[in-house]
Amino acid sequence: MNRLIKILAQALQAVVALKLRTFFCVLSIAIGISAITIIVAATEGAYQKAFDIVASFGPDSILIVSGSEESRGIARREKTLTLADAEAIRSAFATAYMVVPMSRVRDTIISYKANRYSAPIIGSTSDYSLSWTWPVVEGSDFTQEDLKRLANVALLGHETMRELFGDENPVGKTIQVGRIPVQVVGVLLERGSSQGGGNMDNRVVMPITTVMKKFQNEPKYVQALRVRFEDQENLDIRVEELKGFLRVRHRLPDSEPNDFQIVSPKDIIKFLVALTGSLVAFVGIVGIISLVVAGFVLANLFHLSVRERTGEIGIRRSVGAKRRDILLQFLGEALIITTLGGLIGFVLGVAAAGLLQYVEAFPIHFSWKAFAIGLLLSWLVGVLFGLKPASQAADLEPIEAIRS
């Protein structure tokens, strides 16, 4: 043990003395490790973000969207879901404790006194806050009564509230939504911008009946239904049941695709992870390539170093160093260098990730995992590429080494 420490101290001394070799090896490894660090952090960030979103979306909830999967991405989806569908689901599924229809009107001008702001209007039932687990921080949610009488009332997203009212208390005030005067009854908690989901704090939420009648002139159809189930563990089964149920209700023949789409928490996770996936793949390939290159840089510089230092190896062997001692010293030098490269690479990775987040909000999460994986990989490179030159050094015969 004592001997090992002494040999590693010798290795450290050589690492410090042979600055140019150390510099180039550390640099090349740091580049590779920084890429790896970003990948690990981005993957972790994506998963964490996905779970965060699912948690706020509600892990027991699904979203049924009007229109077939093929029509996805087309600006105006055909509308196929009705308020009657919502009622039918509520009565047919015993564990569906909440069925909320929703409609959305794209950017509408909203004004209060001289302040104007453009925001989407979301039509919902009185359970909006509850169904989205989105607390009302000021005032209150609108009521069943408001829905019945098509009341002109609204919940404001935090940003909309700030834009229109500044520091003023908005509850009870009347704003103009399009041409219609609407009374503000409450303000939703600030959510912050969502990853991939755009701004969530600019919405104006109103009774769906009001939105359908007064904004959309729509007697029947809604855009989406949100359903929450008590038996979260059976969510996959419930999704399948719902598909069958809606196909029957919409009288779709077997040849027709679904005229609706069901988004479950699983789909959200899949989507976000896939979104990050392309970046992970790209940076991953870059990272692996640069680590391999770093490995070859290390192997070559060490090979040169061993040749330059045959005299040193010779004198160490003649004063009693065993082959093992020489091997350990050179391997130790490689490991010290790669560890250093790994540490610097991690710091570079953190810095680069910060820059990446500055340029575009990207979910990145640093944990001991990114650090540990980076360090392990740098050791792997050290051992893998340091072993050959080190054993070359160890295999030098003492008489060969001192003859040089």
Report the interface residues with another protein, using CB under 8 A: 2-3, 6-7, 10, 13-14, 16-18, 311-312, 314-325, 397-399, 402
Choose between 7 and 206: whose C-beta lies nearer to another protein: 7
- Which of residues 239 and 326 has its CB atom nearest to another protein in the complex? 326
Nearer to another protein, 274 or 399 (CB): 399
Q: Which residues of 115-126 are buried (b: 16+ CB within 10 A; e: fewer)?
A: eebebbbbbbbb
The nearer residue to another protein, 5 or 355, going by C-beta atoms, is: 5
Which of 1/359 has CB closer to another protein? 1
Q: Look at phi and psi of residue 183 and say left if phi exceeds 0, alpha if psi is from -120 to 50, else beta.
A: beta
Provide the minimum distance between the beta carbon of 393 and another protein in the complex, in angstroms, as a whole number. Answer: 14
Q: Which is closer to another protein, CB of 122 or CB of 337?
A: 337
Q: Cα separations (Å) of 253 from 68, 249, 259?
A: 14, 11, 11
HEC states along 68-107?
CHHHCCCCCCCCCEEHHHHHHHHHHCCCEEEEEEEEEEEE
Residue whose CB is less far from another protein, 14 or 86: 14
**How far apart are CB 16 and another protein at their closest, in Å?**
8
CB of 323 to another protein, least distance (A): 6
CB 302, min distance to another protein, A: 16
Q: Considering the complex, what minimum distance in angstroms separates the CB of residue 17 from another protein?
A: 3
- Give the Cα separation of 248 and 92 in Å (integer): 13
Phi, psi angles (nearest 5°) of residue 118: -105, 125
Q: How far is the CB of 325 from another protein (least distance, A)?
A: 6
With beta carbons less than 8 A apart as the criterion, state whether 42 and 362 touch. yes
Of 302, 285, 392, 289, the C-alpha closest to 338 is 302
Shortest gap between Cβ of 383 and another protein (angstroms)? 23
Are 243 and 262 in contact, with CB atoms under 8 Å apart?
A: yes
Q: How far apart are CA 402 and CA 404, in angstroms?
A: 5
Long-range residue pairs from 351-355, CB within 8 A, at least 24 positions apart, any chain: 352/34, 352/38, 353/37, 353/38, 353/41, 353/42
